[in-house]
Chain A
Amino acid sequence: MIVKEFRQLRRDRRTLAMMIVMPVILLIVFGYAASFDVTSIPTVAAGPQAGQAAHLVGKPFHLVGTQPSEGRAWAAQQLRDGHAAVAVVTGNGRPQVLIDGSQLFTAKTAIAALSAAAAKGANPPTGNTGLPSAGTAGQPPADAATGRAAFGAAPAVTVLYNPGLGTSDIMIPGLAGVVLVFVGTIITSLGVVRERQSGTLEQLAVMPLKPRDVFLGKIVPYFAVAAVDLAIVVGVGVSLFGVPFRGSLAVLALGALLFLFVTLGIGVLISSVSENQGQAIQLSFMVTLPQVLLSGLIFPLSSIAAGVRWISYILPLTYFNEISRGVMLRAEPIGPLWQPFVFLALLGAVVFTLASLRFRAYLAPAAPRRSGGAGSTGTARQPRSTRAAASAGSAGSAP
């Protein structure tokens, strides 16, 4: 029995690769990715003393923009549009620090840094910091103390978009994407492979159906189910967990539509290279797990090592996360979200085209033969399982 299992395992090279190579890859990738430590916080400064702030805010704050002529509204907009996680607003009186609460770990690190800096000056920051005291999110660098010195008074801290720094507020918009990945990729890949295993895909190949019809017929139900799932997740999140939905439903729906095209396309692609449901699940797992761990859903993107972070930027969930959190928590309109929308559209176009071509190749790989006589030579179609073996030849014309 043991020998038999080893022999079978040896011939199932994909499973073997999963068992041996994947753990090593996962260890390396996630070893670098699994970090909650935020070492750099993109910060903007506004108001008359913005230029001064540029010189005086220290680590972990990293100044990415100043606008002396603008005020709080501009600063809040920078946070809303994802250009910065922290905004310092200077002017008459105490400076204000706005923190984007939708970037949970970044916000906590910023608050901790500010609290620690203020504590050194015995003048803690005030406002809805969400944290009772400094240091709860790690030890801030000493440079942060210079911030207070620069402004002469402890800043008033306001956490926007997720004032309570609630985990569910940021997780549920992301989980909506995970649900779409699950349905779009895993379930779809199984649905198509099941067709192959039951022998009905060959029946479909000879039926008077166009490959496009079969392709759409396979994915539309999953598309509908995924859409319902999305509605349920968002509905439950809002009604049960009190997650805010501040933005436009239409923008989120458009983002979900593009995202679903990508995930469904990946599902069909996986099914087209899988011989059975086991292989489809393995491949789906390999595609889904990195999306969950590297998309910013759990670990902040800025905390992922640069050598691994590039993977995050080819994962569709990364962009859907940006859209769902931006729309639900920050009421971000579609304009500032153009980048994730464009990336999703590009990914969708590439993946969906590849999936369509693979599917078409399976159902109708051979070019139509010349027709002849009363009958037609028809369209010679050949399933993938034997396609590689049969060489293309010439079909003679009918007498």
Chain B
Amino acid sequence: MTAPGPANGWWGADDLSVRFGGNIALDHVSFRAEPGRVSAVVGGDGAGRTTLLRCLAGALAPASGLIRRPGALVTGYLSAGSGTYPDLSVSENLAFRATAYQIPPATAAERGEELLARAGLDRARDRLAGQLSGGMRQKLGVIAAMLHRPDLLVLDEPTTGVDPVSRSDLWWLIARAAAGGAAVVLATSYLDEAERAHTVLVLDAGAELAKGTPEEIVAAMPGTLTVADTRPAGEAGRRAWRREGRWRVWDPADARGNPSADASGNGPADAPGNGQAVRPDLQDAVTVAALARELARAGAAEESR
């Protein structure tokens, strides 16, 4: 993996907007992916994750803004779905990619064998991709996307619907690509996965909700988070959500501060008592950011009435 990174240090998008008819899919979004690092794009349904990744990969033209990506020969892309041919075998799928990306056959065979073995697909190399399980097909898709050792690897939800073992294999592949110098951009619905990324971009309805390292996003969360056994009544109830069988309550005005995390970042060892402050993690921070935006919109709507 000797491909040099971009001279300015990043691939990505600057002030990017995409419209689908009258709908704004991306609204002035900026995003940077650095070589050797994994960047996650998270958000709810319709947040614009796939749209952003398609722009980065070159599959979609933006309405405005700058896309900075390497040439097609050094860009890898896994679209939603595995992007593999169901009626070709595992080996044939990789051979096609190798030819398309101008990888010498011997090199492609060597890389393919290594990645297939690590992903547990070496015994399935002669099976049709359409006969693989969902997780195996996703792994094949990621391997195919990174076979040519791209400078920019764009993966749209590579781990969605995949069992934990396959998920672990997929993360090994992702980490391997990043360790080789690729700037890896992945979309995911799983915030625990996003926490493993170096940087995270949170999208909400096509707009940036938060971005930075997971730690920066958590640190930027305003107010205080407490846990409760029951949903609070009144106004506080609008700022509460269920998580792991209890209620998280966000108080934007409370500046008591959250409990400090331990060195591992796992928060307090003991479960907090009712009404006790809890150290937020990325999931909390993202939820709070979305909640804050929703409450602000609701407030603005009420004021306009």
| Residues of chain A whose beta carbon lies under 8 Å from any beta carbon of chain B | 198-200, 202-203, 205-209, 365-366, 369, 372-383, 386-399
Given the interface pairs A207-B101, A365-B61, A389-B20, the reply to whether A198 lies near B86 with Cβ below 8 Å is yes
Q: Which residues of B contact A365 (CB under 8 A)?
A: 61
Closest CB pairs A-B (n = 7) = A374-B7, A389-B20, A393-B64, A380-B61, A393-B63, A366-B61, A208-B72
B190 CB, min distance to chain A CBs, angstroms? 22
Q: Give bound CA distance, A203 to B81, whole Å.
A: 11
Given the interface pairs A200-B83, A206-B59, A394-B64, the reply to whether A376 lies near B101 with Cβ below 8 Å is no
Residue of A200, A380, A387, A398 touching B58 (CB-CB under 8 A): A380
Q: Which residues of A contact B85 (CB under 8 A)?
A: 198, 200
Residues 6-49 of chain B: 1 if any A CB is under 8 Å from the residue's CB, otherwise 0?
Answer: 11100100110111110101000000000000000000000000
Q: Which residues of B contact A207 (CB under 8 A)?
A: 72, 100-101
Residues 71-113 of chain B: 1 if any A CB is under 8 Å from the residue's CB, otherwise 0?
Answer: 1110101011111111000000000000011100000000000
Is B67's CB within 8 Å of the partner chain A? yes
Is B231's CB within 8 Å of the partner chain A? no
Q: Which residues of B contact A390 (CB under 8 A)?
A: 18-20, 25, 60-63
**CB<8 Å pairs between A and B, sample of 25:** A199-B82, A206-B59, A372-B68, A373-B6, A373-B7, A373-B68, A374-B6, A375-B69, A376-B68, A378-B72, A378-B75, A380-B55, A381-B60, A382-B60, A383-B60, A387-B61, A389-B20, A390-B18, A390-B19, A393-B62, A393-B63, A395-B67, A396-B65, A398-B68, A399-B8
Q: Which residues of A contact B79 (CB under 8 A)?
A: 199, 202-203
Q: Which residues of B contact A206 (CB under 8 A)?
A: 57-59, 72, 75, 77
Question: Do B65 and A393 touch across chains, with their CB atoms under 8 A apart?
Answer: yes
Residue of B25, B71, B101 touching A378 (CB-CB under 8 A): B71
A373-B7, A386-B20, A388-B21 provided; 11 other pairs, C-beta below 8 A?
A202-B54, A203-B77, A208-B72, A375-B69, A377-B67, A378-B67, A381-B59, A381-B61, A390-B60, A392-B61, A397-B66
Question: Do B86 and A389 touch across chains, with their CB atoms under 8 A apart?
Answer: no
Is B222's CB within 8 Å of the partner chain A? no
- Interface residue tally for chain B (C-beta within 8 Å): 45
Q: Which residues of B contact A386 (CB under 8 A)?
A: 20, 60
Question: Do A379 and B58 touch across chains, with their CB atoms under 8 A apart?
Answer: yes
Question: Do A200 and B70 touch across chains, with their CB atoms under 8 A apart?
Answer: no
Q: Which of A379, A382, A387, A399 has the most CB of B within 10 A?
A: A382
Residue of B14, B54, B102 touching A208 (CB-CB under 8 A): B102
What residue in chain A is nearest B75 (Cβ atoms)?
A206
A182 CB, min distance to chain B CBs, angstroms? 21
Residue of A203, A208, A373, A382 touching B61 (CB-CB under 8 A): A382
B108 CB, min distance to chain A CBs, angstroms? 15
Residue of A208, A376, A388 touching B69 (CB-CB under 8 A): A376
Given the interface pairs A372-B68, A373-B8, A378-B69, the reply to whether A203 lies near B83 with Cβ below 8 Å is yes
What residue in chain A is nearest B7 (Cβ atoms)?
A374
Q: Which residues of B contact A395 (CB under 8 A)?
A: 62, 64-67
Q: Which residues of A contact B8 (CB under 8 A)?
A: 373-375, 398-399
Q: Give bound CA distance, A318 to B61, whole Å.
A: 43
Q: Give bound CA distance, A145 to B170, whole Å.
A: 89
Q: Which residues of B contact A389 (CB under 8 A)?
A: 19-21, 23
Q: Which of B8, B25, B80, B102 has the most CB of A within 10 A?
A: B8
